[in-house]
């Protein structure tokens, strides 16, 4: 009988792995487990908040993967028995596998930030998983009076999409500039600095003047307590800030199924072998995407896609009794500061024999002194990136 690979999670990493497993080996039986029939991407969800994209344009269905010969099951994976090589689903099915791929993304670490639990997220959305949370945040921004304050609290440590909070601030500023120009944006950051900081701040000044205020760790930016009902947050030194719309980017960890499978470390994330993305703690279980510890690679959709391809190739080699080939990974994170103002950071990564490392001199960030035509071109490259990676994964 042909070998079977079960893939859990139909997002950036998992859907990529499923597609490339079939592409590399047409005889392989590939089953993709994903609860949602429609996947909404976090990439470009900030553009949806800005009114630059409609909802349908950031959602994808699974017909393309089915047409590629992948069995797609809309259920939730509840447990993994690594010894018996089975996955138990919410619909009661128990699936046997020869190799397993997990790409469950992140879970919010409820309660790690005092006052921020699931009920609080209904009042002060995180919108860090795209879907109802994103729609809730947009509805709140639309209901806010002109002259109101949008407050965002940003976690430190490992989190999904390092430039994401700052792109969100930019896109909310764009929306305010069009519709609520007296409004303010306050970013309370638990970090002393952030991704593409100089580029973002230059763009903010040029496009939005004084609308966005960023308060970093060194200036008492770290939020330690949330009162979602009152829409207030309190910082380390006891300063209280009142919001009209409150957005929390909270502490995160690997998706629950990675923890259930026993592949996470005490960090809450999954250590992997950098050549294959096989979990360090369980043979035959490959983990890709945000759930992994893959630094210096960031937690991005682009990286999840690259890792999904590497894991697929490694599984094919392993099933054939061959050694994995040397892996190279690439990432570009585009961010939109304004509709015609794109910036990016790019990197190339490889396994140096011990750990994942960044290829010196192969990446970099957009030049700080670029002109309007350059920024406009980068905004277009970002749109092109979104279209091509979506087609690569779900198309
Ligand atoms: P996901 O894409 O989240 O997929 C996980 C999937 O697994 C989900 O569909 C979920 O339903 C499913 N799942 C979870 N548990 C189970 C289970 N037990 N059983 C079955 N299914 C399960 N990245 C970029 O590269 N470029 C960007 O411009 C960008 N912008 C972003 C903007 C924002 C605001 C945010 C929050 C993130 C952004 N990202 C961006 C990051 C990107 O969204 C993530 O890095 C990417 O989604 C990670 O892929 P993943 O496969 O690990 O997780």
Percent of the chain topping pLDDT 70: 100
Name which residue sits closest to atom 25 of ligand 1, judged by CA: 301
DSSP single-letter state for residue 93: -
Residue 306's pLDDT band, with cuts at 50, 70 and 90, is very high
Asked if 69 and 108 touch (Cβ cutoff 8 Å), the reply is: no
Asked if residue 134 has its Cβ within 6 Å of ligand 1, the reply is no
Asked if 98 and 4 touch (Cβ cutoff 8 Å), the reply is: yes
At residue 218, the pLDDT reads 97
Asked if 11 and 161 touch (Cβ cutoff 8 Å), the reply is: no
Q: Which residues pair with 273 in a beta bridge?
A: none
Q: Is residue 55 exposed (0-12), middle (13-18) or buried (19+ Cβ within 10 Å)?
A: middle
Asked if residue 282 has its Cβ within 6 Å of ligand 1, the reply is no
In the structure encoding, which two tokens stand for residue 26, read together?
Answer: 């047409």
Complex-level ipTM beyond the 0.95 threshold: yes
C-alpha distances out from residue 12 to 103, 203, 342, 363, Å: 8, 29, 22, 22
Which of 362, 272, 282 minimizes the C-alpha distance to 308?
Answer: 272
Compute the distance from residue 236 Cα to the ligand 1 centre, in Å: 30
Q: What is the mean pLDDT of residues 80-108?
A: 98
At residue 238, the pLDDT reads 97
Decide if pLDDT at 143 tops 80: yes
**Lookup result for tokens 């890792």:** 307
Compute the distance from residue 315 Cα to the ligand 1 centre, in Å: 22
Compute the distance from residue 40 Cα to the ligand 1 centre, in Å: 9
Pairing state between β 364-365 and 341-351: antiparallel
Decide if pLDDT at 251 tops 90: yes
State which ligand 1 atom lies nearest to the alpha carbon of 128: 36
State which ligand 1 atom lies nearest to the alpha carbon of 304: 49
Average pLDDT of the chain? 97
Distance CA(17)–CA(32), nearest Å, equals 9
Distance CA(306)–CA(388), nearest Å, equals 13
Tens-place pLDDT, residues 152-177? 999 999 999 999 999 999 999 999 99
Decide if pLDDT at 1 tops 90: no
């Amino acid at each position: 009988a042909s070998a079977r690979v079960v893939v859990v999670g139909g997002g950036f990493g998992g859907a990529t792995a499923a597609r490339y497993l079939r592409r590399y080996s047409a005889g392989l039986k590939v089953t993709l487990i994903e609860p949602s029939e429609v996947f909404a991407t976090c990439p470009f969800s900030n553009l949806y908040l800005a009114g630059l994209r409609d909802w349908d344009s950031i959602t994808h269905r699974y017909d393309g993967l089915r047409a590629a010969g992948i069995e797609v099951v809309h259920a939730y994976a509840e447990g993994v028995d690594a010894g018996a090589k089975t996955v138990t689903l919410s619909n009661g099915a128990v699936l046997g596998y020869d190799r397993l791929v997990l790409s469950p993304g992140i879970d919010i670490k409820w309660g790690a930030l005092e006052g921020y639990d699931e009920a609080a997220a209904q009042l002060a959305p995180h919108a860090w998983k795209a879907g109802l949370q994103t729609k809730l945040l947009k509805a709140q921004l639309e209901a806010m009076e002109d002259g109101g304050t949008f407050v965002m609290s940003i976690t430190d440590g490992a989190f999904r999409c390092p430039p994401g909070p700052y792109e969100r601030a930019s896109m909310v500023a764009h929306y305010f500039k069009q519709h609520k120009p007296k409004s303010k944006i306050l970013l309370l950051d638990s970090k002393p600095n952030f991704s593409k900081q100089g580029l973002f701040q230059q763009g903010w000044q040029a496009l939005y003047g004084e609308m966005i205020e960023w308060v970093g760790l060194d200036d008492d930016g770290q939020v330690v307590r949330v009162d979602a009902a009152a829409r207030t947050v309190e910082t380390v030194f006891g300063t209280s800030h009142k919001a009209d719309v409150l957005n929390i980017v909270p502490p995160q960890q690997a998706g629950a199924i990675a923890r259930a499978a026993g592949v996470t470390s005490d960090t809450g994330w999954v250590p992997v072998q950098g050549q294959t993305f096989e979990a360090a703690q369980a043979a035959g279980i490959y983990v890709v995407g945000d759930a992994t510890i893959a630094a210096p690679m960031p937690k991005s959709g682009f990286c999840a896609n690259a890792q999904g391809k590497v894991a697929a190739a490694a599984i094919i080699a392993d099933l054939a009794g061959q050694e994995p080939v040397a892996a190279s990974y690439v990432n570009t994170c585009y961010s939109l500061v304004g509709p015609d103002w794109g910036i990016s950071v790019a990197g190339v990564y490889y396994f140096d024999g011990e750990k994942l490392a960044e290829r010196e001199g192969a990446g970099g960030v957009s030049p700080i002194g670029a002109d309007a035509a350059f920024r406009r071109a980068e905004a277009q490259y970002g749109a092109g990136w979104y279209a091509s990676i979506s087609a690569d994964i779900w198309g």
